[in-house]
Structure 1
Amino acid sequence: MRSTEPRRAAVLGSPIAHSLSPALHRAAYAELGLDHWSYDRFEVDEAALPGFVEGLDPSWAGLSLTMPLKRAIIPLLDAVSDTASSVEAVNTVVCTEDGRRVGDNTDIPGMIAALRERGVEKVESAAVLGAGATASSALAALAEICTGPVTAYVRSRERGAEMRAWGERLGVDVRIADWAEGERALCAPLVIATTPAGTTDGLATAVPETPGTLFDVLYEPWPTALASAWSIREGAVIGGLDLLVHQAVLQVEQMTGCVPAPLAAMRHAGEAALAAR
């Protein structure tokens, strides 16, 4: 018989007020009949993280981590999955019954699942716009589905060196190009945009006549100028909400043990929460 003892989970980060995670996880709990489960958000920065983790009691089932905590959480854990270790980023912590705290990264499989949902199983090459933390997760996902080179468009040599190093670590043939040449990226069969809001707006006028697939990891504001232009050209567009939902599905499954998590209900909740803003 499933326990009805109160269970807690939450998303931590700074800033955190914008997070859609509570809407997604609460929708999952409602659909699964987990009335005794709660999911909240907490404003926690790197300095406050150790104290927060130390204060977790047995009612806690898990944590979702967003910036700037995905790397800072690692020394505070008892174990880290190979997936999370591959990019040195944890976005999921599961609190086990024996008191251990185990870290994982659901962004990577979430990205792969979002691509597969739109029919993208394999590509011969890809382009990544940006070189931050999300870009390294994109490279890890591409290690699974891209059979050829990945070109990363970056603003500095230092960022280029980091992306090349991530590629070597993940087994991806990463080639570096200057951000100023970003229009060339749009001709790739798969383009993954990992940059902050507004960064790719200048590329919107350069979308080719027959574009491939665009995966823009932003969900607010949405659609981005690039995503809008891509859609007008009838190219396939995957958005940040797709990624958010798929990675949250995996978090719910790990924290609750309920498989499968209710993807449709979680996506609907995310769409409704965005529409209400």
Structure 2
Amino acid sequence: MSGPAATRRAAVLGHPIGHSRSPLLHSTAYRALGVDIAYTAIDMLPEEAASFAARLRTEPGWVGVSVTMPLKAALIPHLDVLSERVQRLGALNTVVVEHLAGSVRLTGHNTDVDGIVRALDEVLPARRAGAAPRERRAAILGAGNTALAALEACALLGYTHVDLVVRNRQRAAAALGLARTLGLAGSTVDLAQATDRLAQYEAVISTLPAHAADAMVATLGLDRAPARPGILAPGAVLLDVAYDPWPSAIATAWEAAGGTVVSGMSMLVHQGVEQVKYFSGIQDADWRHVTNVMCDAVGLSRP
């Protein structure tokens, strides 16, 4: 690393970005680790990706950036190395800046997958070793870059079939291709079909922007109080990656129908822990403590 430690910096990139809690989470984690990394938020559009990659190569102090919408694919052509996961997904959320013998190497990673897996693992029933394989169904609302990470997370969590709930099936072609690569039985369905299958899903992951799922509540039949019996599978979990505002309309309705809700803030914390490891260069630490203080900072229950 060139330059004194005090000059190290990182940031979250996206548009809009004013709502992001990443600066608070990362700053809390670096204090807990005793490292000096300044972490800020930068509002940026996809057309600025090339010029910002150049900044990472030429401005001193950069250790990495977190990447959110709409930039998860835009930065890929401007990096030197892509992790196997990023190559598979075609989307990233992390860029690590390495200074090597006078040169700079930019490497892309995707920790969204880790965030989704750990957020859901906190509430899903424990998987029993040696249990007979069975069909396990999940659904993903949307088919964008975060949905690609959700697909890989579903494969890691042992789901066998994933429905992609989309308006435009053509836009889900990349996601369906990824599902096949991951060994998942994947299909695209519209909202009416998802409504008919709702009781089959052990988990639903909404990858839509804030408020985009609000209109789905009535169609899914979740707006009835009380909801009709059996509308959800027993113990069905909803992870809504949009954490602002919280609770979202669909999260409120899901919980009222007897389901379990996981905030996107939990995903943000867990994926952020992996980014902190990359940016700080620290692997051996009390990561449970770091995770707990990050949860405390945003008012999230400790895992």
- Using structure 1 for the length normalisation, give the TM-score: 0.89
2:138 to 95, 108, 126: 126
1:198 Cα deviation from its structure 2 partner: 4.1
**Change in CA separation of 1:104 and 1:150 when aligned onto 2, cut-off 3 Å:** same
Instruction: Report the residue type matching 1:73 in the other structure.
Output: L
Q: Distance in 2 between matches of 1:75 and 1:253?
A: 24
| Residue 154 (structure 1) aligned with residue 166 (structure 2) | yes
The CA deviation string for residues 170-193 of structure 1, in whole angstroms up to 9 with x for no partner, is: 322102222222323431111112
1:1-277 pair list within 5 angstroms: 4-34=5-35, 36-56=36-56, 57-98=59-100, 99-120=104-125, 124-187=136-199, 188-196=201-209, 197-199=211-213, 200-202=216-218, 203=220, 204-205=222-223, 208=231, 210-259=234-283, 260=285, 261=287, 262-271=290-299
Indicate the residue corresponding to 1:275 in structure 2: none
* Counterpart AA for 1:264: N
Amino acid at match of 1:27: T
The aligned amino acid for 1:96 is: E
| Contact 2:19-2:244 at 8 Å conserved across structures | no
**Does structure 2 retain, via aligned residues, the 8 Å contact 1:66–1:91?**
yes
Q: Which runs of 5+ in 2 are unaligned?
A: 128-134
Deviation, 1:107, is 0.3
Give the superposition deviation at 1:39. 0.3
Match in the other structure for 2:130: none
Indicate conservation of the 8 Å contact 2:137/2:160, yes or no: yes
Distance 1:240 1:147, change over 3 A: closer
CA contact (8 A) 1:126 1:146 kept: no
Task: Single out whichever of 221-230 and 247-256 deviates more from structure 2.
Answer: 221-230
Contact 2:95 2:107 in 1 (8 A): yes
Q: Relative to structure 2, which stretch is displaced further, 142-151 or 99-108?
A: 142-151
CA contact (8 A) 1:128 1:152 kept: yes
Query: What SS does the aligned partner of 2:23 have?
Result: helix
Paired with 2:272 and 2:293, the residues of 1 have a C-alpha distance of 12
Paired residue secondary structure (1:97): strand
Check conservation: 1:121, 1:145, Cα contact below 8 A: no
Distance 2:51 2:279 in 1: 22
SS in 1 for 2:45: coil
Q: Tell me the amino acid that sits aligned with residue 90 of structure 2.
A: E
Q: Which residue of 1 aligns with 2:132?
A: none
Task: Measure, in 2, the Cα distance between the counterparts of 1:226 and 1:79.
Answer: 38
CA RMSD of aligned residues (A): 2.1
Tell me the amino acid that sits aligned with residue 115 of structure 1.
L
8 Å Cα contact 2:119-2:270 kept in structure 1: yes
How many Å apart are 1:205 and its aligned residue? 2.6
